[in-house]
Amino acid sequence: MNNKIKKTLGELREKIQEHNYLYHVLDAPHISDAEYDILFKKLVALENQYPEYITADSPTQRIGATPSKEFKESKHRIPMLSLENAFSEDDVFAFNKRIHEKLQTNKQLTFCCEPKMDGLAINLLYIDGHYTQAATRGDGIVGEDITANAKTLQTIPLKLKNKDIPKVIEVRGEIYMSKKTFHDLNKQAEQAGEKVFANPRNAAAGSVRQLDPGITAKRKLSFFCYGIGYYEGEAVFHSQSEILQQLKRWGFPVNPEITTTHSIEECLQFFETIKKKRENLAYEIDGVVYKVDDLHLQKSLGFISRAPRFALAHKFPAQEQITVIEEVDFQVGRTGTLTPVARLKPVNVGGVIVSNATLHNMDEIERKDIRIHDVVIIRRAGDVIPEVVSVIKEERPKEAKKIKAPIHCPVCHSDVTRVQGEAAVRCSGGLICSAQRKEAIKHFASRKAMDIDGLGDKIIDQLVNTKLIHTVADLYDLTHEVLAKLERLGDKSAQNLLEAIQKSKKTTFERFLYALGIREVGESTALMLTQHFSSLEELTKASTESLLPLPDVGPVVSTQIHTFFQQKHNKEVIEKLLKKGIHWEKPKKLSQLPLQNKTFVLTGTLSSLSREKATQVLQSLGAKVSGSVSQKTHYVIAGSEPGSKLSNAKKLNIKILDEKQFLEFIKNVKTST
């Protein structure tokens, strides 16, 4: 009898463990959440009935340890080393030269190239394939015992899978918090008036170092392994990439971006590729790591002080810096929104001198308690406008001044209004305000709108200031004579600009609609409108009610569109633009598009394109992109770290495409039309 129960318990645990692995490590669940819950409840019930058979590696035991008073010390069997850093290609070439000299070879070497995770290093000890202990890196020799906390991470296996399991093995890797989890956590903390974390690394470290493992469990941390420490028994490895393969087979999550290269130049290519992908990755990285792949060569290379000679961390330039806010100005946007901008003491952030940072809006200023003269941490990531991450309160000077929203527009002096329920304050000047007019023209000329190359901000400023143009339609009256007189514009550039203006006359209906700058009408709404109205005339006549049934159009959007086309000024500008020769080919009707009537839902992060881009591609083929999964969904596109949408899709038996399948699908649809 007892043996039978033991066997049932064992089978149940194995099954649950496998589903945990499929869900958390592979992001590919085989069963629905509901089915999983049933299995789990069954195990809990059986264990409640037979508590004497509960094992430490049972999936029910991830959370359950009681809070401790302090962390015990834990000595690593093999020290946890650090890595030497490189900040330039020269540093990388020097590394390559050093290792070649030391190995006395001039042959190309194979490297294992890995993203450098920005989390905290951890050492996991498995004895006879069972999770036994976890420790932080500490000083590299002695860390803190966080066994109960790390056990709550669903991506850390409690029992190793498959064969060749060593008697003892230390597995090393990085615990991290995904960008999404970090933002959600901070949002919650903010709402509860609690302290927010500065970045995902601090959040991960803070969550792991909780005396109550119950708190760690709630923080949704993840883990990627990148190597091993001490081991004894069975397994024999020849290379770093082989170690990672084996770790994967044993059930550990290994970063899918990892690859092997066959020269240092290829390593540099890997660096560039990952740098480009960085924004779209679900987690933070601060560089890449190159490791000589061959373990024999690693051994001959040995160590220098606390770092191995066989590995190098090639870091991205820092994205955060400390500086001082010298002043705060308010910039007027296209629709009159006043955006507070911090004028900073110029500072070099990752190779770019930054002297301005957006403060977003008044709510943000209040929430972060930002004042003029404060010492702040600023962040510049990719192409995004630099922003203030947080204030270093300890360094706040006495003269620090609170920031007040202006009551008059700084440009046209019209009254400023604050719409109830909105964070933004607005200039009420409309087209009287030259700042709003300039922004409208910049928007009209921008790449995704009419794409007038060479019509930069400085030129628009001059054209509006000197009253050479008032509206976007006046652009098409500009002559070479007028343009050549502008500052910063030589003869040749004036000619090029005129040609670009001429060229912009041939456009598409959706670009034109987007360029008009109708409030609430972004690129995808513009595209959708062209799929429902084949002519501008038809659209301008549409009533608010007739717009309402369109996808993603609510009362606000429909009113904005309708009102825009009713205004005399707008009618005049449009008429003049058309008279000047702006034209487009008649767009395809929705009924002619290959994905009409098909609804897609996107979840998780795609590595080769942003979600917006994926949405655009789908919409341009006539598909509807929805935010939630229902019976009406036809396809779910699942990137990495998919949310509950993926499990819902499984439940409803909806076709799921991973990134590769999605790209293939789009290619096929495009070629078949």
Which residues are designated catalytic? Answer: 116
CB-based contact 418:425 (threshold 8 Å):
yes
CB-based contact 534:586 (threshold 8 Å):
yes
- How near is the Cβ of 94 to ligand IVH at its closest, in Å? 18
Radius of gyration of the chain (CA): 30
C-alpha to C-alpha distance for 341 and 323, rounded to whole angstroms = 14
Helix and strand numbers (H, E) in the chain are 24, 28
- How near is the Cβ of 82 to ligand IVH at its closest, in Å? 4
DSSP 412: T
- Compute the Cα dihedral for 356, 357, 362, 366 and give only its sign: negative
Could you say which of 145, 174, 387, 510 contacts ligand IVH (CB under 6 A)?
174
Query: x/- binding map, residues 309-328, to ligand IVH, per CB under 6 A?
Result: --x-x---------------
Nearer to ligand IVH, 225 or 376 (CB): 225
297 binds ligand IVH (CB under 6 A): no
Nearer to ligand IVH, 118 or 523 (CB): 118
List C-alpha distances in Å: 80 to 137, 254, 330, 645: 6, 19, 50, 39
- How near is the Cβ of 124 to ligand IVH at its closest, in Å? 13
Q: In what order do the strands lie in the sheet with 168-176?
A: 130-136, 120-127, 168-176, 222-232
Q: DSSP states of 109-144 as a string?
A: --EEEEEEESSEEEEEEEETTEEEEEEE-TTSSEEE
289 binds ligand IVH (CB under 6 A): yes
226 binds ligand IVH (CB under 6 A): yes
**Which two tokens mark 486?**
């502008």
The secondary structure element, H or E, covering residue 378 is strand 375-379
**Which two tokens mark 636?**
């779910």
- How near is the Cβ of 239 to ligand IVH at its closest, in Å? 15
Query: How is the chain split among helix, strand and coil, in percent rounded to 5?
Result: 40, 20, 35
83 binds ligand IVH (CB under 6 A): yes
Query: x/- binding map, residues 87-126, to ligand IVH, per CB under 6 A?
Result: ---------------------------x-xx---x-----
Nearer to ligand IVH, 82 or 559 (CB): 82
561 binds ligand IVH (CB under 6 A): no
Query: x/- binding map, residues 237-266, to ligand IVH, per CB under 6 A?
Result: ------------------------------
284 binds ligand IVH (CB under 6 A): no
φ, ψ of residue 67 in degrees (nearest 5): -55, 145
**Which two tokens mark 458?**
């400085």
Residues 6+ apart with CB under 8 A from 104: none
Query: x/- binding map, residues 444-463, to ligand IVH, per CB under 6 A?
Result: --------------------
C-alpha to C-alpha distance for 510 and 506, rounded to whole angstroms = 12
Closest C-alpha to 326, from 345, 299, 304, 348 = 345
- How near is the Cβ of 258 to ligand IVH at its closest, in Å? 8
Part in contact with ligand IVH (CB under 6 A); list of ranges 76-84, 351-359, 409-417, 596-604: 76-84
- Compute the Cα dihedral for 601, 607, 611, 617 and give only its sign: negative
Part in contact with ligand IVH (CB under 6 A); list of ranges 27-35, 308-316, 604-612, 636-644: 308-316
Nearer to ligand IVH, 25 or 601 (CB): 25
Could you say which of 64, 79, 214, 308 contacts ligand IVH (CB under 6 A)?
308
C-alpha to C-alpha distance for 284 and 343, rounded to whole angstroms = 28
- How near is the Cβ of 127 to ligand IVH at its closest, in Å? 23
- How near is the Cβ of 158 to ligand IVH at its closest, in Å? 23
The site for ligand IVH, by CB under 6 A, has a size of 15
Part in contact with ligand IVH (CB under 6 A); list of ranges 3-11, 79-87, 455-463, 464-472: 79-87
79 binds ligand IVH (CB under 6 A): no
- How near is the Cβ of 227 to ligand IVH at its closest, in Å? 6
C-alpha to C-alpha distance for 570 and 428, rounded to whole angstroms = 17
Could you say which of 55, 82, 414, 607 contacts ligand IVH (CB under 6 A)?
82
Q: Which residue is nearest to ligand IVH (CB)?
A: 121
Could you say which of 31, 81, 211, 318 contacts ligand IVH (CB under 6 A)?
81
Part in contact with ligand IVH (CB under 6 A); list of ranges 80-88, 127-135, 396-404, 654-662: 80-88
CA atoms within 13 A of residue 186's CA, in its CB half-sphere: 19
- How near is the Cβ of 173 to ligand IVH at its closest, in Å? 8
Nearer to ligand IVH, 170 or 523 (CB): 170
Nearer to ligand IVH, 88 or 567 (CB): 88
Part in contact with ligand IVH (CB under 6 A); list of ranges 307-315, 347-355, 384-392, 649-657: 307-315
Write b or e for each residue in 149-182: b if 16 or more Cβ atoms lie within 10 A of its Cβ, otherwise e. bbbbbbbbbbbbbeeebbeebbbbbbbbbbbbbb
C-alpha to C-alpha distance for 28 and 21, rounded to whole angstroms = 9
Give me the residues that bind ligand IVH (CB under 6 A), please: 81-83, 114, 116-117, 121, 137, 174, 226-227, 289, 308, 311, 313
